[in-house]
């Protein structure tokens, strides 16, 4: 009889994720004993350092939490402050913010689909190696990423940490003519996104489904970016101001990122799959048709198919960007006047990786007295560990090297951003 | 002529406390990326590849500041493995925004963020890489400019000094034909003391420069502080202006502390 061996599978540095993390899996025979996603990214303590800063500095400072999704941080921050002060923004500013977010989603999703996730499905260590066999596809991915970056750079001066976002609107609004210059490339990007969806839909997906609680914003008329109620597939339906009554953060010894869970202690999923399942009917026809052609069924519960969902969101974001540019008229003033008053404001917006919650308390001089920021990866962290626990038992009989790669892929399903969450990845699989 | 095939130079990309934005600049160089990847061997770049080759490396690009004991040890090891060490971005060259803890009680900071502070190991200060090991070139910016990054890599590979200007943002404003926002609109602007490289972005967007490229070569911060006073800024506001993404760079640190004292 074969002895029940204990094996530890360790990935010391998880690759193709943003930030520093490690993965640790302990197996006894083929039974999973323990799974830990260790986040050792050093804490940068943003919520503490924001105290005493002026509200007008928030969009610049919180952008620095994440170089991949700075706009998400800027958007949650400006909306939280506007809600605190009771500022109404101009409808054109609202449109511009949707366009700004389209740029970030296109850039971030194209990066993840082509550079970070696709190599797992095709068996390459990275997209640069993959380009030796798939040069035109990788070039297509880079051009798509650049199309998103062009929107961000046009509206904010640069791709990373753009400088235009302000409480009340923008420091400067683009002209109609400037935005029109993006149209041809975005038309190409829409076609390229449809091609992306067809390409990734042909990958092999492990047979793996979980019963998730999906959480995302939901808006009566649109696929969500900056506005909407926080809803789930299990009946949650609350305003951002009620977020902290429904979710709580827990600290675990093995991670510098807090785990966000539902008040009852359950894990949940945020991000493209949650948005897609909860807001499918708000997608434009072209995206819904593409989803159908890709064989996506509602609800999608296989996290490995998140790459297809991300491609569908690329289709949506390109289509939405073109719609906004078509409708846009510059606002009379780029930003509304802001008068500080002692107040508290909360807001949640949809970062590429999922719901991003901010709360600020502000004094009568406009200085921050307390801040709370809950990034998407904090919210998905517990769920990633649950996925891994289930998934490892499915593949436990395979060679350690194969389990390791598959586990990394299962983590990358979530496009985790560890820089955000500690503000990640090494892997250990333990068997002896 | 040597019959040996010339080995491509090996590059490693190393991350410390940071937002990942500066190393992302390499992936954001969409037009150049495959070209760069052909000219050099990207041997260690965990954000982009799961293949991680052991050193030594010809060039090490270091992003992020030192904030933990473990990282203070790790940077020594990285330095030993890299023939040329280049730091990229405000975190690596000046300690980053996380250096705001350097004027505060870090234990109190941890208590604000974490329920069980004892699980968290961190140093009292966030410090630039050059405070720990010798650095061959510092590329400034929060984030760095990707074209400057390509210039630094190609210049270094060619054995010449990279062409990265150390004059102020004002020069870039003049070249772009921007009307001076401080003079014409009375807006607080750090342009006169901040190193060029961004392309005078903020003044081009109708706002004052917030100093994300750090101090220029010879900044007259005292004179700028006086001007900011004349524009109606109080000492707390001037201190905050210098205490941004390059707060721990010594010229900004000194300027911030002077306005805090007065």
Is B98's CB within 8 Å of A48's CB? no
Q: How many domains does chain A have?
A: 1
**A16 chain-B contacts, CB cut-off 8 A:** 46-50
Q: Which pair of tokens denotes residue A23?
A: 């993965």
- Rounded CA-CA distance A303/A309 in Å is 10
Among chain B residues, the shortest Cα distance to A49 is held by: B100
Choose from B113, B122, B123, B148 for mutation: most chain A CBs within 10 A. B113
Domain presence at residue A226: yes
Q: Is the domain of B145 the same as that of B18?
A: yes
DSSP helix, strand, coil percent of chain A (3-state; round to 5): 45, 20, 30
Is B101's CB within 8 Å of A149's CB? no
A61 CB within 8 Å of a chain B CB:
yes
Residue with tokens 């609202």, as numbered in its chain? A94
Is B100's CB within 8 Å of A49's CB? yes
Q: What confidence score (pLDDT) does residue A151 get?
A: 98
Among chain A residues, the shortest Cα distance to B90 is held by: A64
ipTM of the complex: 0.96
Q: What does R_g of chain A's alpha carbons equal in angstroms?
A: 21
B173 CB within 8 Å of a chain A CB:
no
Q: Is A19 left (phi over 0), alpha (psi -120 to 50) or beta?
A: left
Pairing of strands A354-362, A368-374: antiparallel
- Rounded CA-CA distance B145/A179 in Å is 23
Q: Is the domain of B103 the same as that of B207?
A: no
Residue with tokens 């040996």, as numbered in its chain? B4
Q: Which of B133, B157, B181 is the last residue of a domain?
A: B157
Choose from B14, B21, B40, B95 for mutation: most chain A CBs within 10 A. B21
B108 CB within 8 Å of a chain A CB:
yes
Q: Is the domain of B145 the same as that of B175?
A: no
Residue with tokens 């939490």, as numbered in its chain? A65
Residues B192 and B220: beta-carbon distance below 8 Å: yes
- Rounded CA-CA distance A137/A143 in Å is 10
List, as ranges, residues 4-33 from B with C-beta within 8 Å of A: 15-25, 27-28, 30-31, 33
Is B240's CB within 8 Å of A54's CB? yes
Among residues B68, B195, B46, which one has the least CA distance to residue B132?
B68
- Rounded CA-CA distance B62/B59 in Å is 10
Which strand (E) or helix (H) includes residue B231? none
Is A18's CB within 8 Å of B47's CB? yes
Confidence of residue A1 (pLDDT cuts 50, 70, 90): very low
Q: Which pair of tokens denotes residue A393?
A: 């038992």
Which residues make Cβ contacts (< 8 Å) with residue A6, sequence separation at least 6?
Answer: A26, A27, A28, A33, A430, A431, A432
Q: What does R_g of chain B's alpha carbons equal in angstroms?
A: 20
Q: Is the domain of B191 the same as that of B231?
A: yes
Burial class (CB in 10 A: 0-12, 13-18, 19+), A200: buried
Among chain A residues, the shortest Cα distance to B202 is held by: A163
Is A160's CB within 8 Å of B46's CB? no
Domain presence at residue A1: no
- Long-range contacts from A246-250, C-beta under 8 angstroms, 24+ separation: A247/A357, A247/A374, A247/A379, A249/A374, A249/A378, A250/B115
Q: How many domains does chain B have?
A: 2
Domain CATH number, residue A300 = 1.10.645.10
- Helix ranges (DSSP H) in A161-231: 176-180, 183-201
Q: Give me the count of residues in chain B.
A: 262
Among chain A residues, the shortest Cα distance to B25 is held by: A160
Is B18's CB within 8 Å of A419's CB? yes
DSSP helix, strand, coil percent of chain B (3-state; round to 5): 45, 15, 40
Q: What confidence score (pLDDT) does residue A264 get?
A: 84
Choose from A52, A59, A114, A128 for mutation: most chain B CBs within 10 A. A128
For residue B1, what are the CA distances in angstroms to A25, A127, B4, B8?
53, 35, 9, 17
**A359 chain-B contacts, CB cut-off 8 A:** none
Q: What confidence score (pLDDT) does residue A104 get?
A: 98
Domain presence at residue B66: yes
List, as ranges, residues 221-240 from B with C-beta within 8 Å of A: 237, 240
Is B97's CB within 8 Å of A48's CB? no
Which strand (E) or helix (H) includes residue A74? helix A70-85
Q: Which of B157, B189, B224 is the last residue of a domain?
A: B157
Per-residue pLDDT of A106-138, as tens digits, reads: 999 999 999 999 999 999 999 999 999 999 999
Q: Strand runs (DSSP E) across B23-97, as ranges? A: 41-44, 57-63, 82-88
A70 CB within 8 Å of a chain B CB:
yes
List, as ranges, residues 327-386 from A with C-beta within 8 Å of B: 334
Q: Is A173 left (phi over 0), alpha (psi -120 to 50) or beta?
A: beta
Is B37's CB within 8 Å of A128's CB? yes
Among chain A residues, the shortest Cα distance to B108 is held by: A48
Which residues make Cβ contacts (< 8 Å) with residue A388, sequence separation at least 6?
Answer: A23, A25, A35, A37, A407, A410, A411
Confidence of residue A34 (pLDDT cuts 50, 70, 90): confident
Flag whether pLDDT at A423 surpasses 60: no
Tell me the residue range of the domain where B229 lies. 169-261
Q: Is the domain of B61 the same as that of B173?
A: no
Domain presence at residue A373: yes
Q: What confidence score (pLDDT) does residue B2 get?
A: 46
- Rounded CA-CA distance B179/B181 in Å is 6
Confidence of residue B3 (pLDDT cuts 50, 70, 90): very low
Give backbone dihedrals phi and psi of B49, rounded to 5 degrees, phi first. -145, 145
Per-residue pLDDT of B180-221, as tens digits, reads: 999 999 999 999 999 999 999 999 999 999 999 999 999 999
Q: Give me the count of residues in chain A.
A: 432
CB-closest option in A161, A171, A256 to B142: A161
Residue with tokens 């706002």, as numbered in its chain? B207
Q: Closest approach of chain A CAs to the CA of B113, in angstroms?
A: 6
Domain presence at residue B164: no
Q: Is the domain of B30 the same as that of B109?
A: yes
For residue B121, what are the CA distances in angstroms to A41, A57, A249, A376, B118?
11, 28, 19, 24, 7
A140 CB within 8 Å of a chain B CB:
no
List, as ranges, residues 123-142 from B with C-beta within 8 Å of A: 126, 142
Domain presence at residue A355: yes
Tell me the residue range of the domain where A426 lies. 6-431
Please give the interface size between A and B, counted as residue pairs whose CB atoms are below 8 Å apart.
Answer: 184
- Rounded CA-CA distance A401/A414 in Å is 21
Flag whether pLDDT at A2 surpasses 70: no
Among residues B81, B85, B104, which one has the least CA distance to residue B93?
B85
Report the b/e string of B237-262 with b at 16+ CB within 10 A: ebbbbbbbbbbbbebbbebbebbeee
B40 CB within 8 Å of a chain A CB:
no
Which strand (E) or helix (H) includes residue B24? helix B21-28
A75-79, B50-54, B95-99, B153-157: segment of lowest average pLDDT: B50-54
The whole-number average pLDDT for the span A403-411 is 89
Choose from A39, A45, A57, A408 for mutation: most chain B CBs within 10 A. A45
Among chain B residues, the shortest Cα distance to A46 is held by: B98
Per-residue pLDDT of A73-99, as tens digits, reads: 999 999 999 999 999 999 999 999 999
Which residues make Cβ contacts (< 8 Å) with residue B83, sequence separation at least 6?
Answer: B56, B57, B58, B59
Q: Is the domain of B52 the same as that of B31?
A: yes
Domain presence at residue A286: yes
HSE, CB side, 13 Å, CA atoms: give it for residue A52. Answer: 15
Q: Which pair of tokens denotes residue B147?
A: 């074209």
Q: Which pair of tokens denotes residue A100?
A: 């700004």
Is B97's CB within 8 Å of A61's CB? yes
Q: Which pair of tokens denotes residue B183?
A: 């003079």
pTM of the full predicted structure? 0.95
Per-residue pLDDT of A154-177, as tens digits, reads: 999 999 999 999 999 999 999 999
Q: Is the domain of B221 the same as that of B142?
A: no
How many Å from the N-terminal Cα to the C-terminal Cα in chain A? Answer: 16
Supply angle C-alpha A320, A324, A327, rounded to 5: 140
HSE, CB side, 13 Å, CA atoms: give it for residue A373. Answer: 32
Which residues make Cβ contacts (< 8 Å) with residue A125, sequence separation at least 6?
Answer: A15, A119, B49, B50, B51
Q: What confidence score (pLDDT) does residue A163 get?
A: 98
Report chain A's mean pLDDT, rounded to a whole number.
92
Q: Is the domain of B193 the same as that of B71?
A: no
Domain CATH number, residue B14 = 3.40.50.700
Q: What confidence score (pLDDT) does residue B242 get?
A: 98
B118 CB within 8 Å of a chain A CB:
no
Q: Is the domain of B123 the same as that of B173?
A: no
Cis peptide before B56 (omega within 30 of 0): yes
Q: Is B64 left (phi over 0), alpha (psi -120 to 50) or beta?
A: left
Q: Which pair of tokens denotes residue A421?
A: 């969450």
């Amino acid at each position: 009889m074969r002895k029940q061996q204990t094996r530890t599978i360790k990935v010391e540095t998880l690759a193709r994720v943003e930030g520093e993390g490690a993965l640790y899996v302990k197996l006894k025979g083929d039974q999973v004993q323990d799974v830990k996603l260790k986040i050792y990214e050093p804490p940068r303590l943003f919520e503490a350092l924001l105290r005493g800063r002026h509200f007008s500095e928030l969009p610049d400072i919180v952008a620095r939490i994440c170089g991949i999704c700075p706009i998400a941080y800027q958007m949650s921050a400006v909306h939280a402050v506007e809600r605190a002060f009771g500022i109404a923004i101009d409808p054109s500013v609202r449109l511009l913010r949707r366009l700004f977010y389209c740029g970030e989603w296109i850039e971030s999703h194209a990066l993840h689909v082509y550079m970070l996730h696709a190599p797992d499905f095709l068996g390459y260590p990275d997209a640069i190696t993959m380009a030796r066999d798939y040069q035109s596809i990788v070039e297509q991915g880079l051009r798509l990423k650049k199309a998103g970056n062009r929107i961000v750079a046009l509206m904010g001066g640069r791709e990373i940490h753009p400088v235009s976002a302000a409480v009340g609107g923008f420091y400067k609004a683009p002209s109609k003519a400037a935005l029109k210059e993006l149209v041809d490339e975005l038309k190409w990007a829409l076609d390229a996104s449809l091609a992306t969806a067809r390409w990734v839909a042909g990958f092999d997906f492990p047979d793996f489904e979980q019963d998730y609680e999906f959480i995302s914003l939901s808006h009566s008329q649109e696929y969500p970016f900056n506005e909407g109620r926080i809803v789930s597939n299990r009946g949650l339906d609350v305003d951002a101001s009620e977020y902290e009554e429904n979710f709580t953060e827990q600290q675990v010894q093995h991670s510098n990122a807090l785990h966000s869970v539902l008040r009852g202690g359950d894990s949940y999923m945020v991000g493209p799959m949650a948005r897609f399942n909860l807001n499918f009917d708000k997608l434009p026809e072209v995206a819904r048709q593409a989803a159908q052609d890709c064989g996506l069924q509602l609800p999608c519960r296989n996290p490995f198919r998140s790459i297809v969902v991300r491609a569908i969101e690329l289709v949506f974001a390109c289509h939405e960007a073109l719609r906004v540019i078509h409708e846009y008229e510059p606002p009379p003033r780029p930003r509304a006047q802001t008068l500080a008053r002692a107040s508290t404001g909360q807001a949640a917006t949809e970062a590429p990786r999922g719901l991003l919650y901010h709360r600020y308390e502000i004094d009568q001089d406009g200085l921050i007295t307390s801040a709370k920021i809950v990034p998407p990866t904090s919210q998905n962290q517990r769920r990633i560990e649950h996925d891994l626990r289930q998934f490892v038992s499915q593949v436990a009989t395979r060679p350690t090297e194969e389990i390791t790669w598959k586990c990394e892929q299962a983590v990358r399903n979530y496009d985790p951003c560890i820089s955000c969450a500690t503000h990640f990845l090494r892997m250990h699989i333990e068997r002896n | 002529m040597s019959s040996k095939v010339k080995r491509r130079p090996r590059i490693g990309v190393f991350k410390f406390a940071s937002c990942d934005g500066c190393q992302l600049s390499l992936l954001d160089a969409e037009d150049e990326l495959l070209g760069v990847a052909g000219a050099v061997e990207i041997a260690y770049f965990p954000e982009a590849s799961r293949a991680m080759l052991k050193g030594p490396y010809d060039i090490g690009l270091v992003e992020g500041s030192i904030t933990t004991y473990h990282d203070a040890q790790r940077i020594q090891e990285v330095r030993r493995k890299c023939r040329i060490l280049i730091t990229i971005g405000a975190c690596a060259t000046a300690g980053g925004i996380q250096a705001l803890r350097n004027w505060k009680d870090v234990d109190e900071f941890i208590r604000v963020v974490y329920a069980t502070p004892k699980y968290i190991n961190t140093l009292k200060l966030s410090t630039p890489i050059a405070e720990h090991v010798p650095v061959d070139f510092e590329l400034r910016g929060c984030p760095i400019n990707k074209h400057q990054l390509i210039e630094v890599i190609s210049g270094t590979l060619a054995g010449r000094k990279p062409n990265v200007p150390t004059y102020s943002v004002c020069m870039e404003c003049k070249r772009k034909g921007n009307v001076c926002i401080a003079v014409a609109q009375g807006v607080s602007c750090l342009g006169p003391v901040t190193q060029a490289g961004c392309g005078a972005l903020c003044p081009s967007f109708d706002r004052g420069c917030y100093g994300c490229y750090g101090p220029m070569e010879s900044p007259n911060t005292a004179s700028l502080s006086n001007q900011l006073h004349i524009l109606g800024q109080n000492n707390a506001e001037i201190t905050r202006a210098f205490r941004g993404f390059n707060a721990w760079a010594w010229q900004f640190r000194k300027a911030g502390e002077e306005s805090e004292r007065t």
